[in-house]
Each structure stands twice: as structure tokens, then as C-alpha cells.
Amino acid sequence: FWDCWLEGGFKNGEIVPLPTQEFHCKNVENAFRFMSQGKHMGKIVITGLSDGKFCVETMKTNLGQSHLITGGLGGLGLSIAFRLAEEGCKNVCLVGRRGITNGFQKRQIDLVSKMGCHVKIITSAVVDLVASSLPQPSVIWHAATVYEDKMFSEMTEEAWNLVVDTKVKGYNHLRSIWPSTRIVTFSSVAAYFGNALQTSYALANATLDAYARKKNSKTLSIRLGPLDNVGFITKSKNSRILFDSVPFEIMNVDGVLDRIMKITGEKDSGVFGIYDLKQTTKNNNRDVKAKVKSASEGTGNTYTIKEAQTFVSVILGGSPDQYTSSTSLKESGLDSLSTMEVVNYIHEQSGRQDFKPSNITDEFTVQSIVDVIVSSRGTSVVETFTHTNKDSKTKEAEFFDSSPNRPIVHSELATEKTVFDGPEPEPEISHEPVVTINIAPSFIDFDSIISALKTADVVVLRQSDPLVFNHGAPIESNNEISIAKFMDRYVALSEAFESTSSTVVAIIEGEVRGGGMLFPAVADVCVATKKASFGLPEIHRNMVPSVVSKALVERLGQSTTRRLCLTGESFQTEQALRIGLIDHIVDDDDLDQFVSNTVRRWKSRAPATRFIKNELLPKTSTHSLAMGTVAGTWLMQQGGAGDNHDIGKHEVLKISIDEYGVATLTMCDTTYQNTMTFEMTAAIRSALPRLRRDAKVIILMSSLNHFHVGLNPAKTREWRNRPTCHIAADMKECYMGFVELATLGLPIIAILNGKVYGGGLPIALWCDYRIASADVDMHFGNLSRGMSPAGQLSQLLREYLSP
């Protein structure tokens, strides 16, 4: 019956097959990408399969298989090689005068080879290249460069020629060997804007630009602004200082590579600039910074010269004892990319983020690594005005100084303590009327946006890519730490949007997904063209939208946001307008006019717009930070770390339940002195089923000479280099045992003795009845240790102490 019915249905056109979307098997990757976006209805069909054989085209670029990169072992050269290998290229020749000089280059080349790309190293100056020994390249990337920055009065013929010849004679030699092959040369903004000490470099680059402008030159000249993590800027302290005075932002090499590949894929001659102009703020913070040293409240662990030697041998190759304390890193072959390895390592080891590539001068040695790390662990550099008070050692500091578990302090680190308790003068902020920020598809420039939200009256957010507004966090990455670090910055961005008094306008002309949805969610006015589309696809990758979901709740309401999170569905402009995510749909051609009309309305109305945002209708929520904690818990569970807390074997809690159902929980952690630990949470949790079954009342007490003294600073110091959202999640976990005990529904009597400090105080206050011995010393002293009392404590104290 059903078959007949179906047959009839198809014949009559009553039953229509679902639509199909076809992809040729060469583009199967695009098919999967399309499917993962959840945009389609019906079936996705793969065509072009012959003999059941599946042929997958892995080449993603139209630039050909073989590439020659001059300066290929330098910072940008290696990055290009890596990117070409990622795009599926099969051969790269890297040309440099000295060949491989360090372990970092070796490792990068290994990575490129592992991607199936054959690497040939040619140890030669560009002008000495001989065609017969080389394969025909599809594209030549001319990235060889020498920097000889000198005052004109000190310039020598040799220095001048070295710079100019490498670029200009080098280019001409390449062209004479390969008259019709595409050449991509790298020039610099110095060619156009000039730069102190760089006359020869500017001339060489301007000449390359001129060659690329010639008709049929088959030459592209890409004029770059300063890159943060490769090359020039990393080579000397002066470079960064020079760039402080020119109007360019320092750019990240990854974003720049995207733009290079795009230009190279579309054009084969002409001059193209890749540089970001600085958003000017009149009173640059640097002007008001005064660096002073302070002994940090606690000092870190030891760091030895051996560790530094081992690290240097890993990045530069060889064995640790090859490097003495006075070995100069630069002289041992440190180049631009391995410079970044050193910088990141110092950030990790020292916890200070103000160490810059430009701090690595020619004189920077293995010993310098030790000095920076040791001094940062022992003292912290605070960029603020200060007021000192030598006698303010806190009660808790005294307590922990006498604790057996305090960290080891090197005698040379025991510097005079300086405590900051004076008010910090607010730097004077100059307001810009309108700042437009171009948002990149897969990278958020957190600092620029946050700084604009502090200074500008109106912030306009536009997309830099024609198709994509922003895709949020790098959720495809397998590196949980990089996602967690992104999350920290994202939380800061979300908080900046919550607290800003700038008016925010978002203009959406392409895809917005995942964390990128924060931008329309927080915008005061959001307009979109018909090309825009939206969605929270995290669920398709077994991820969850985190901070962004709360911003969306404020704009769309709970139920709509929940649906978007759960379904991961993507939707177009009309639906976005219907649910209130955007405010207007504007035709592409009218967009600029619409924006300027809207923004004009606010010109010279800044006091009113700021009053509306600050006083009249302020954002009340401060949920970003809390959501960061929630996200941290999720991320750690995904990485397997959530259930993996380090739980020691020692006894921290004794439990007895008598025949009347009186349960006595005695905290007895002699190792960590009744402080917040994962062990205590685990011990309480394991007791909960028994308490639920047999107990009628709980007595919570301590067998030590104090009740509980909150978080253990020695333990929390171990967290210092970790992403904040991970730390917040762990902090929460440390409290959770007591929270679960307090919400069990049984009456709890606390017997308080000795010190009840910091986080120990809310434990006492969560109990229903408190009995104290005569020696009890209650003190929530977080402030005196530079911490604010946990939300719970401030809330509980208000309940208990207010009239």
C-alpha cells in the first residue's frame, strides 16, 4: 500500500525530493566545510568519482607547486615557506648566505617537510645564484634583506651597497635568470614614509616598488609595515623606538601572511601596501608611565643557568653545555622567529608580559635570560605612580611567612619590600570623536578595540574581509591553552564593551559566527547588508558558546539565545532583524552614506551620548568575568584536566557519625594547614553520600590550632602563568566542596578556633551556627594582600553585618 502511495505521490508531484547541493570530488573539503556550517537542506552530493576512486585535491593555492624564497631562512621567509606548505605546495628552495644557523630554522624546516613539502637549502647570496642548479620555480619570493641602519654621516659605501645590492641587484639577477617568472618582492613603508637611519633601505625598497609598477613586469611589490614577531623589529632596541614615532601599528605576521596570500593569489604586478595606521591618542600612556621596582608579595621558585642553557639548546640546537652564561644569543644565530620563542618563554617563566623582542639586543646572553626571570620572580615591575609604606606587612603575610610550605626565596632576591597603597592617578585621556576599527575574519585585535572603547566617542566596527566579519575563537585549534588565553582576552573585551560609554556601531557585511557574535550583540546600533549571516556553530564542534551567550541574552532574551546555542543554526539578515540582533538592513551601495548619516547625528553630542550610556541606561550586568570562569571549567573538562586535579594521599578531613546522626567533620590538613585545596573538595565530596544517608546535623571543626585560612598563596602562586579562565575555574573548584556541604540541607555548626582568615570566613558564615573559642581571630584581610574579598564573602558580610 505504502509503495503504491509513494509511487503515486512522486508521479503527481505531491512528494518532492529534498534539494541537493553538488560538489565535485576535487572540492570535497569545501563540501565538508559547507556541511559543518549547518546551512544546507537536503543532501550534499559528491560528483566526479570514477571507478569508485576518491581523488582529493589538496592544493589550496593557485600559485603553483614550486617556490624559490630568497632570504628564505629569515623570519618572513620561513613563515612564507610554512604557509605555502600548508597550502599544499610541494617544493620550496630557501636561499640564504649562511644556510641553517640555528635549531629553530631546523625545526621549522622539519615541520614544512612533514607537511609533504620538499625543502632545498641553497647557501648562496642572491646575486650568485646559478640557474642550472635550480628547478624552475612557479613564483619567486624575494625576501632577502640586510639592515645597516646608519646616520648619513656614518654611512660607508660598503654598508650602503650591502643593503641596496641585496634587494636591487638581487632582483635584477633573479629577473635575468627567470625573465618571465612571477616575482613577489617585499618592500617597506620606509620607502614611502622614510625612517630615520634607513636611507639605503628606503631607496632599495622604493626601487623595488618602481620595478613592480612597470607594465608587464610580472612583479608584485608588497610594501610592509613593521611586523611584531619577525625580522627587523626584533633585531635591535632602536627599531622599536623608531617605530614608536611613525604612524604605523606593529602587525602580527599571521594576519600579514593572510593578506600577502590573498594579494598574490589575485594580482601579478603592482605595488600593494600591508600596514595599519595607528589610531592616535594624544596622551600615550607611555608618557605617564614611571617604572618602579617593587618586591612582590611573595617570590617565586628558583631558576638556574642550567635551565636557561637547556632552553637555548632546544631552540638553537646543540647541547646545553655548548652555551656558557656569556654566550650572546644573537651571535649564536638567534633570528627573528626564534627571538619570539625566547620572548614567549620569558613571559611564561617570569609571568611578566612587558618583555619585548626589542629587549633582546646583541648583548643579550644566556645569563640575561636568568637575570630577567629571576628578577621578575623576585620583584615585579609596576608601571604606575606609587607611594611606599615599609611597615605594612600584613597579618596574613606574617602567618604565611611562618608556614612550613612557603616558597623558597633566594637570598639575593630578598629585596626591600615596597607596598603600593597610594591612589593611582588616572592618566588624562583625550577623546577621539570617531574611531573606525577594521575587524579581521579570524583574529581579534583586542588591544586596539579596548583602547578605542576607552577614548573614542563613537566606535564603528567594520570588517576587513569582503566575505567574513569575524569567526570568533580559534575553536578548530587543538591547543587548549591558546583557546583559554584567547578566552581571557575575550573576557576583557566583553567587559570593555559592558563598561564603555562610547557609542558602538557594528556594520556587518558577511559571516559572523561564534565569538564574533559578540560584536552585533553589544553594538548600540547594528546594521547589516543582505550578504550578512549569523550563527553560533560551536555545538557542531562539541564546544559551547560562553561569554558571548550572556551578551546575546541581553539583546535577544533567554529563549532565543538558548535555541541559537543548542541548534547551532545559521541565519540570514532578515531573521537577524526579526529577532532583534540587527537594527536595520541596508543596501550595499547605501552603506557608507547610512553610516556617515548615523554618526553625524552624534557629532558634538558626546556629553549626551556618554550620559545616556553611563547614567541613564548603563549596562547593569557584570557577567563577563563569571562567564570566563564557566568557560574555563568547560575548557578544562574538554582537555581532560577537569577531573585531573592533583589530589594528594594525605588525610585532610576526619569524619565520624554517631548513633544520633551527629556527624563531626574535622579538618586536619597538616600539609596545607587547612587552606583551600582540591584534596579538601574531594574529601568533602566523597563524604556527601554518607552524610545524606546517616547524618542529621553536621559539626565542622579543625584539629589544627586554627580553623581555616582561605586560599594558600604558595599554592595559588603555582597558577601564576596559567590563563585566567583556568585559574578561576580551579579557584571555584577549591571552594566547591564547602558549597556542596552547605547546600546539603543539614544544619551545620562551626566550631571556630584560632585564625579564621580570608576564604575561611565564608566557610564559617555558610554554617548555620557558630561557636568560637576564646583565641579566635577573624580577619578577611584580602585587601591588605591586594585581593578583593570573594563575591561570596562580601555578600555574606553584608547579610550579617548590615543593620
Ligand X SMILES: NC(=O)c1ccc[n+]([C@@H]2O[C@H](COP(=O)([O-])OP(=O)(O)OC[C@H]3O[C@@H](n4cnc5c(N)ncnc54)[C@H](OP(=O)(O)O)[C@@H]3O)[C@@H](O)[C@H]2O)c1
Strand (E) or helix (H) holding 95: strand 91-96
Amino acid at site 536: L
SS (H, E, C) 38-68: CCCCCEEEEECCECCECCCCCCCCCCCCEEE
Determine if 75 is a binding residue for ligand X (CB under 6 A). Answer: yes
d(CA 367, CA 465): 45
Helices (H) and strands (E) in the chain, counts: 30, 27
- State the cell numbers at 464: 576587513
Question: Residue from 61, 70, 207, 573 that binds ligand X (CB under 6 A)?
Answer: 70
Q: Closest approach of Cβ 263 to ligand X, in Å?
A: 14
Nearest Cα residue to 221 out of 141, 164, 276, 149:
141
Decide whether 186 or 534 has the Cβ nearer to ligand X: 186
Determine if 226 is a binding residue for ligand X (CB under 6 A). Answer: yes
Strand (E) or helix (H) holding 230: none
Question: Residue from 74, 137, 357, 510 that binds ligand X (CB under 6 A)?
Answer: 74
Q: Closest approach of Cβ 223 to ligand X, in Å?
A: 8
The number of beta carbons lying within 10 Å of the beta carbon of residue 50 is 8
Q: Closest approach of Cβ 78 to ligand X, in Å?
A: 8
d(CA 203, CA 205): 5
Residue nearest ligand X (C-beta atom): 231
The number of beta carbons lying within 10 Å of the beta carbon of residue 228 is 21
Going residue by residue from 233 to 262, which x/- string records binding to ligand X, judged by CB under 6 A?
x-----------------------------
Determine if 336 is a binding residue for ligand X (CB under 6 A). Answer: yes
Determine if 343 is a binding residue for ligand X (CB under 6 A). Answer: no
List the Cα angle 111/114/117 in 5-degree steps: 95
The number of beta carbons lying within 10 Å of the beta carbon of residue 443 is 16
Of 27-35, 141-149, 297-305, 597-605, which part binds ligand X (CB under 6 A)? Answer: 141-149
Decide whether 192 or 719 has the Cβ nearer to ligand X: 192
Decide whether 126 or 765 has the Cβ nearer to ligand X: 126
Q: Could you give the count of Cα atoms lying within 13 Å of 30 in the half-sphere of its Cβ? A: 13
Q: How far is CA 469 from CA 180, 512, 524, 529, in A?
A: 38, 5, 17, 12
Site for ligand X in 742-781 (CB under 6 A): none
**What strands lie across the sheet with 697-702, from one edge to the other?**
653-657, 662-667, 697-702, 748-752, 769-772
Determine if 195 is a binding residue for ligand X (CB under 6 A). Answer: no
Determine if 675 is a binding residue for ligand X (CB under 6 A). Answer: no
Decide whether 333 or 760 has the Cβ nearer to ligand X: 333
Determine if 504 is a binding residue for ligand X (CB under 6 A). Answer: no
Determine if 230 is a binding residue for ligand X (CB under 6 A). Answer: yes
Decide whether 205 or 673 has the Cβ nearer to ligand X: 205
Going residue by residue from 115 to 134, which x/- string records binding to ligand X, judged by CB under 6 A?
----------xx--------
Q: Closest approach of Cβ 84 to ligand X, in Å?
A: 15
Site for ligand X in 160-189 (CB under 6 A): 166, 170, 186, 188
Q: Closest approach of Cβ 333 to ligand X, in Å?
A: 9
Question: Residue from 63, 68, 71, 334 that binds ligand X (CB under 6 A)?
Answer: 71
Of 36-44, 142-150, 624-632, 633-641, which part binds ligand X (CB under 6 A)? Answer: 142-150
Q: Closest approach of Cβ 89 to ligand X, in Å?
A: 19
Q: Closest approach of Cβ 408 to ligand X, in Å?
A: 40
- State the cell numbers at 156: 660607508
Q: Closest approach of Cβ 160 to ligand X, in Å?
A: 14
Question: Residue from 231, 514, 632, 759 that binds ligand X (CB under 6 A)?
Answer: 231
Of 70-78, 264-272, 309-317, 352-360, which part binds ligand X (CB under 6 A)? Answer: 70-78
Decide whether 73 or 523 has the Cβ nearer to ligand X: 73
Decide whether 81 or 456 has the Cβ nearer to ligand X: 81
Determine if 684 is a binding residue for ligand X (CB under 6 A). Answer: no
The per-residue b/e assignment along 746-755, b for 16 or more CB within 10 angstroms, e otherwise, is bebbbbbbbb
Q: Closest approach of Cβ 232 to ligand X, in Å?
A: 4
Whether 393 contacts 417, CB under 8 Å: yes
d(CA 648, CA 416): 36
- Residue 645: which residues within 8 A CB-CB, separation 6 or more? 678, 681, 682, 730, 733
Which residue, chain included where needed, has cell 564557566? 630
Decide whether 233 or 765 has the Cβ nearer to ligand X: 233
Decide whether 170 or 737 has the Cβ nearer to ligand X: 170
d(CA 533, CA 512): 6
Of 73-81, 370-378, 542-550, 595-603, which part binds ligand X (CB under 6 A)? Answer: 73-81
Q: Closest approach of Cβ 619 to ligand X, in Å?
A: 39
- State the cell numbers at 574: 532578515
Site for ligand X in 94-113 (CB under 6 A): 95-98
Backbone conformation region of residue 636, classed left if phi is above 0, alpha if psi is from -120 to 50, else beta: alpha
Of 144-152, 438-446, 592-600, 793-801, which part binds ligand X (CB under 6 A)? Answer: 144-152
Decide whether 199 or 712 has the Cβ nearer to ligand X: 199
Q: Closest approach of Cβ 341 to ligand X, in Å?
A: 14
- Residue 627: which residues within 8 A CB-CB, separation 6 or more? 491, 494, 546, 547, 549, 550
List the Cα angle 403/409/410 in 5-degree steps: 155
Segments in 227-335 forming alpha helices (H) = 232-235, 237-244, 253-266, 285-288, 305-316
Please give the size of the binding site for ligand X, defined by CB under 6 A: 30
The per-residue b/e assignment along 762-786, b for 16 or more CB within 10 angstroms, e otherwise, is bbbbbbeebebeeebebbbbbebbe
Q: Closest approach of Cβ 280 to ligand X, in Å?
A: 21
Q: Closest approach of Cβ 336 to ligand X, in Å?
A: 4
Site for ligand X in 145-164 (CB under 6 A): 145-146
Decide whether 227 or 342 has the Cβ nearer to ligand X: 227
Of 49-57, 69-77, 583-591, 734-742, which part binds ligand X (CB under 6 A)? Answer: 69-77
Handedness of CA 223, 225, 228, 233 (dihedral sign): positive
Decide whether 209 or 509 has the Cβ nearer to ligand X: 209
Q: Closest approach of Cβ 433 to ligand X, in Å?
A: 31
Decide whether 233 or 750 has the Cβ nearer to ligand X: 233
List the Cα angle 608/609/612 in 5-degree steps: 85
Of 8-16, 74-82, 380-388, 623-631, which part binds ligand X (CB under 6 A)? Answer: 74-82
- State the cell numbers at 25: 570530488
Q: Radius of gyration of the chain from Cα atoms?
A: 31
d(CA 575, CA 529): 12
Q: Closest approach of Cβ 82 to ligand X, in Å?
A: 13
Q: How far is CA 486 from CA 448, 499, 542, 753, in A?
A: 15, 20, 18, 43
Binding site for ligand X (CB under 6 A): 70-71, 73-77, 95-98, 125-126, 143-146, 166, 170, 186, 188, 224, 226-227, 230-233, 335-336
